[in-house]
Amino acid sequence: MRVFVDTNIWAYRLDRREVHKSPFIKAWLRQLAQDHEVVISTQVLIELRAVMTRKLQPSLSSADCRQALEALAQFDVVPTDAALVLDAHELAAAHQVSWFDALILEAAIRSRCAVLYSEDFNGGQQFGGLAIVNPLESS
């Protein structure tokens, strides 16, 4: 099964200040990657780099940031192109979601994911065949 993992989940994985969430997400992501095909988008890479350099430094060095981005780049990465942006615009208007959330949703839908793991939506929401799950709700 193809699953999309939003930026906030990856950020918790790297945030050493999150003494409860980080270890849980680390183990959870390891299992998820063994059981499913993980998908991200260029937006996830861009947002994660911003989080790492603005919020997680100095605990993460530039080399740490590079290593994290390289690790994520090994997953299936959905490129953000003009068509995705235009379709996300329609999705944002139709479902009253924020612009950046609509870009994530559209990338997950385009890549034929069954589940979008995120903390930014209400768990249990559905967008077409895409289910939204917050992995931290059960932790």
- Higher pLDDT: 40 or 55? It is 40
Residue 128 pLDDT? 87
Q: What is the pTM of this model?
A: 0.94
Residue 66 pLDDT? 96
Determine the Cα–Cα distance for residues 70 and 54; give it in Å rounded to an integer: 19
Residue 59 pLDDT? 79
Q: Does pLDDT of 87 surpass 70?
A: yes
Q: Does pLDDT of 139 surpass 70?
A: no
The chain-wide mean pLDDT, for the chain, equals 94
Token readout for 103 is: 């870009």
Model pLDDT for residues 109-119, shown as the tens digit of each residue: 999 999 999 99
Model pLDDT for residues 54-69, shown as the tens digit of each residue: 988 787 889 999 999 9
Virtual torsion, Cα 38, 26, 133, 32, nearest 10 deg: 40
Q: Does pLDDT of 138 surpass 70?
A: no
Q: Domain locations in the chain? A: 2-133
State which CATH number among 3.30.1010.10, 3.30.560.10, 3.40.50.1010, 3.30.70.980 fits the domain covering 2-133: 3.40.50.1010
Residue 124 pLDDT? 82
Q: Does pLDDT of 137 surpass 70?
A: yes
Q: In angstroms, what is the C-alpha Rg of the chain?
A: 15
Bridge partners of 127, per DSSP, are: 130
Bridge partners of 78, per DSSP, are: 41
What is the pLDDT averaged over residues 26-55?
96
Model pLDDT for residues 1-12, shown as the tens digit of each residue: 999 999 999 999
